[in-house]
């Protein structure tokens, strides 16, 4: 049996998305910047996709900008949000994706900002009281906090953070890549400044994403060289990808509750089976429904000594997952997330991430293989 449980890394293309993209490839090959009929037809497809995404997120079409993915979207929001608004202090957490952390650290290194990192607890929850203290101390900060952590799944209350940022005049960016297509996002109500999405996290194509920019938040282009995306992003649009992104998000929203129940059920079933069959199994992050991203389960295993071999052994057994260890020294290259929450660096940690296509039979197969591996090293 081949089992794919690495959906937080990327998801399989939905068949309907493939059909929409192939139709576009076959019938619509004009450049959307061209003024002739072929170009106008393709421009219409791009704008239709923009309206679809905006409508699903309760945003205005003018607030949606298509990008090459979540990393570009995060970089654009952070760099332009800080520079164009003259911000000199930024706040983030040690759990953010490297697209956020490395960008902020680069700005700190070149002297553009001073950077504060808000504390987290052992389950990956942000210290919201410390966040408010930092905002009081540094009015008009740039705050970047992700909606759900991509490694451990712990959710952040971005509605509360957004309200807090509004209270203190801060600019708020949230990396929503892992939750896009899995939760309802109402950007008009939420009133954050920036949010990001990547199509391949919700059964769309790789290499395309989007940046939401609140209409009140004005920024300059991050990529120059053309008038595309209403003069905000140079470069010919990835038309096929944009069409696929919009169709994928449309499918997600049409079936969101059904898929959520199915995937949450798989996660809870796997937790129960692991607790039954593997003594001293632990879980990284908050696994409480409502506090945790239902597509992600990060598991800490008791079979010390095979951390480097766990993923390899699973791969040999036909199981695709991902993971890492906490850093045990400054020279280790491990998971910065697991290190930040104080995970045991000696225990193997594996992230299993689910999608609508997974089944209970697959979970049984995976748990059986995990039990064999841990018993071999007991």
How many CB atoms sit inside 10 A of residue 252's CB? 20
CA distances 97 to 67, 75, 137, 177, Å, are 18, 11, 25, 10
Residue in 93, 124, 57, 21 with CA at minimum distance from that of residue 338: 124
Active site residue 327: yes
Residue corresponding to tokens 């607890």: 121
Angle between helices 70-84 and 98-109 (to 10 degrees): 30
Distance CA 313, CA 318 (A): 9
User: Which residue out of 165, 252, 303, 327 is catalytically annotated?
Assistant: 327
334 neighbors 325 (Cβ within 8 angstroms): yes
Residue corresponding to tokens 């064999």: 372
Helix H, strand E, coil C: the string for the chain is: CCEECECCCCCCCCHHHHHHHHHHHHHCCCCCCCCCHHHHHHHHHHHHHHHHHHHHCCCCHHHEEEECCHHHHHHHHHHHHHHHCCCCEEEECCCCCHHHHHHHHHHHHCCCCEEEECCECCCCCECHHHHHHHHHHCCCCEEECCCECCCCCEECCHHHHHHHHHHCCCEEEECCCCCECCECCCHHHHCCCEEEEEHHHCCCCCCCEEEEECCCCCCCCCECCCCHHHHCECCCCCHHHHHHHHHHHHHHHHCHHHHHHHHHHHHHHHHHHHHHHCCCCEEECCCCECCECCCEEEEECCCCCCHHHHHHHHHHCCEECEECCECCCCCCCCEHHHHHCCCCCCCCEEEEECCCCCCHHHHHHHHHHHHHHHHHCC
Residues involved in catalysis: 327
């Amino acid at each position: 049996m081949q089992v794919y449980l690495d959906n937080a890394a990327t998801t399989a293309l939905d068949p309907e998305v493939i059909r929409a993209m192939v139709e576009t490839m076959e019938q619509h090959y004009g450049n959307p910047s061209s003024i002739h009929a072929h170009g106008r037809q393709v421009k219409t497809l791009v704008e239709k996709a923009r309206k679809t995404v905006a409508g699903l997120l309760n945003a205005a079409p003018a607030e949606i900008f298509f990008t090459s993915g979540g990393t570009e979207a995060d970089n654009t929001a952070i760099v332009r949000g800080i520079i164009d608004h003259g911000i000199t202090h930024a706040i983030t957490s040690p759990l953010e994706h490297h697209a956020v952390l490395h960008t902020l650290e680069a700005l700190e290194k070149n002297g553009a900002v001073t950077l504060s990192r808000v504390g987290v607890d052992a389950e990956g929850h942000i210290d919201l009281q410390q966040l408010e203290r930092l905002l009081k101390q540094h009015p008009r900060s740039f705050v970047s906090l992700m909606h759900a952590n991509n490694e451990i799944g712990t959710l952040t209350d971005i509605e509360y953070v957004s309200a807090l940022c509004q209270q203190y005049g801060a600019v708020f960016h949230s990396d929503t890549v892992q939750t896009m297509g899995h939760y309802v996002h109402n950007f008009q109500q939420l009133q954050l400044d920036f949010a990001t999405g990547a199509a391949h996290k919700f059964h769309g194509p790789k290499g395309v994403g989007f940046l939401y920019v609140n209409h009140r938040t004005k920024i300059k282009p991050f990529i120059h060289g053309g008038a595309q995306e209403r003069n905000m992003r140079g470069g010919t649009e990835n038309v096929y990808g944009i069409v696929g992104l919009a169709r994928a998000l449309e499918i997600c929203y049409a079936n969101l509750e059904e898929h959520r129940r199915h995937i949450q059920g798989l996660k809870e079933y796997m937790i129960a089976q692991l607790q039954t069959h593997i003594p001293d199994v632990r879980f990284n992050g908050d696994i409480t429904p409502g506090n945790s991203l239902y597509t992600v389960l990060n598991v800490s295993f008791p079979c010390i000594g095979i951390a480097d071999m766990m993923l390899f052994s699973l791969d040999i057994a036909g199981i695709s997952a991902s993971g890492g260890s906490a850093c045990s020294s400054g020279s280790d290259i491990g998971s910065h997330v697991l290190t930040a929450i104080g995970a045991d660096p000696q225990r193997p940690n594996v992230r299993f991430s689910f999608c609508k296509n997974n089944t209970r039979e697959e979970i049984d197969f995976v748990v059986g293989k995990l039990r064999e591996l841990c018993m071999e090293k007991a």
